[in-house]
Amino acid sequence: MTLQRKFLGAAAVLALASGTALADPAIIYDLGGKFDKSFNEAAFNGAEKWKAETGGTYKELGMQSEAQREQALRRLAEAGANPVVMTGFAFGDVLNKVAPDFPDTKFAIIDMVVEQPNVKSVVFNEHEGSYLVGVMAAMASKTGTVGFIGGMDIPLIRKFGCGYAEGVKAVNPDAKIVMNMTGTTPAAWNDPVKGAELAKAQKAQGADVIYAAAGGTGIGVLQAAADEGILSIGVDSNQNYLHPGQVLTSMVKRVDNAVYDAFKEGADMTTGVNVMGLANDGVGYAMDDNNASLVTDDMKAKVEEAAAKIKSGEITVHDYMSDNTCPAATF
């Protein structure tokens, strides 16, 4: 059995490297999988864009459990992938451990800062994009009550919620904001049933627009909102198409651009910290045919005004992660 395992392990590594140059880039998707219609799928789309433009190939791995993080990372590095991109803050500790063992390999991590000489850390100003969709939520709400449903209760997700609350309050200082987190473990990213339950509970409290920043759990939020006849707001990817005419907008986080840029740079990828915000089109809000009927001209004007003021510095949106406080909401 031991010998068989050795052969299987060797075969797996060979399969990763077969038919491709050693310097092919690679991506590891976080829990939830590459077709989560949200964060991971945005990363996948960036990889596919690079593939379509260059004709190149890339390696990819998904995970079924937290225990597989280090194994997946080492496996790709040992197979010669360069750079290796990983989606999600949860890779931080593992990357800190693995990166020094492969000094000639470049790594990129999204949503976490890892201070290693061969690592590019990509972080986003999610609070800025969330502020914009908060403005839109407040203008679209007829009840004066809006909701926010986060995935795992961590500072990063509170950063989304706080920015959203600030945008809501900027339009309607008297607005009520119902805030819920799905859970405190990674399972909170992939529980659409719980997401739907929370959305229905928020509607019962008067919320008629709900922003979901919860990965795969958000799919349940958007579905329940549509079923209940209220509006939702998607996240990370443009999720307007999931329920045309019922998703007000999506807070788009350009994870696709982060992956595309890393793949394009290849083994010469610049390391250090890269911040993607409104000013460099790292975040924004989605407009298309699916939500055009929901967004009035006044709403467009107001949100574009807010975006311009954030870019110019006239409006500073509070970053929850800077001090673990939120002036506009209580978690």
Look at residue 13 and tell me whether its pLDDT is greater than 90. Answer: no
Which tokens hold the place of 171? 């339009």
Quick one: pLDDT band at residue 3, thresholds 50, 70, 90? very low
Both 214 and 311 in one domain: the answer is yes
Question: Residue 272's domain spans which residues?
Answer: 2-125+256-276
Residue 158 lies in a domain: yes
- Residue 114 belongs to a domain: yes
CATH assignment at residue 140: 3.40.50.2300
CA distance 325 to 322: 8
Residue 12 confidence (pLDDT) above 90: no
Q: Are residues 114 and 172 in the same domain?
A: no
Task: Verify that 313 and 184 share a domain, yes or no.
Answer: yes
Calpha distance 175→79 (Å, rounded): 54
Residue 86 vs residues 1, 204, 213, 214, 306: alpha-carbon distances, Å: 32, 39, 19, 18, 32
Beta-ladder partners of 145: 176
Query: Residue 245 — left, alpha, or beta (φ > 0 → left; ψ -120 to 50 → alpha)?
Result: left
Tell me, what's the pLDDT at 201?
98
Instruction: For residues 92-100, give the mean pLDDT.
Output: 97
pLDDT band at 38 (very low <50, low <70, confident <90, very high): confident
User: Do residues 163 and 289 both lie within one domain?
Assistant: yes
Task: State whether 197 and 260 are in the same domain.
Answer: no
**Which of 156, 220, 215 shows the shortest CA–CA distance to 30?**
215
Q: Answer yes or no: is pLDDT of 19 > 80.
A: no
- State both tokens at 301: 């004007």
The dihedral built from the CA positions of residue 276, 279, 303 and 285, taken in this order, carries a sign that is negative
Supply the pLDDT for residue 23. Answer: 80
Q: Please report which confidence band the pLDDT of residue 33 belongs to, taking 50, 70 and 90 as the band edges.
A: confident
Contact 258, 27 (CB under 8 A): no
Task: Tell me whether residue 329 is in a domain.
Answer: no
Q: Are residues 199 and 62 in the same domain?
A: no
Are residues 137 and 226 both part of a single domain? yes
Assigned domain for 331 exists:
no
Query: The whole model's pTM is what?
Result: 0.88
Provide the pLDDT for residue 11. Answer: 37
Tally the residues of the chain: 331
Instruction: Tell me whether residue 245 is in a domain.
Output: yes
Residues 57 and 83 in one domain: yes
Least confident of 8-12, 24-28, 108-112, 261-265: 8-12
Check if the beta carbon of residue 186 is closer than 8 Å to that of residue 33: no
pLDDT digits (tens, 9 = 90+) for 218-267: 999 999 999 999 999 999 999 999 999 999 999 999 999 999 999 999 99
Whether residues 105 and 138 fall in one domain: no
Q: Which amino acid is at 33?
A: G
The structural domain count of the chain equals: 2
Is residue 206 included in any domain, yes or no? Answer: yes
HSE-up (13 A, CA, CB side) for residue 321:
16
- 20 and 136 in a single domain? The answer is no
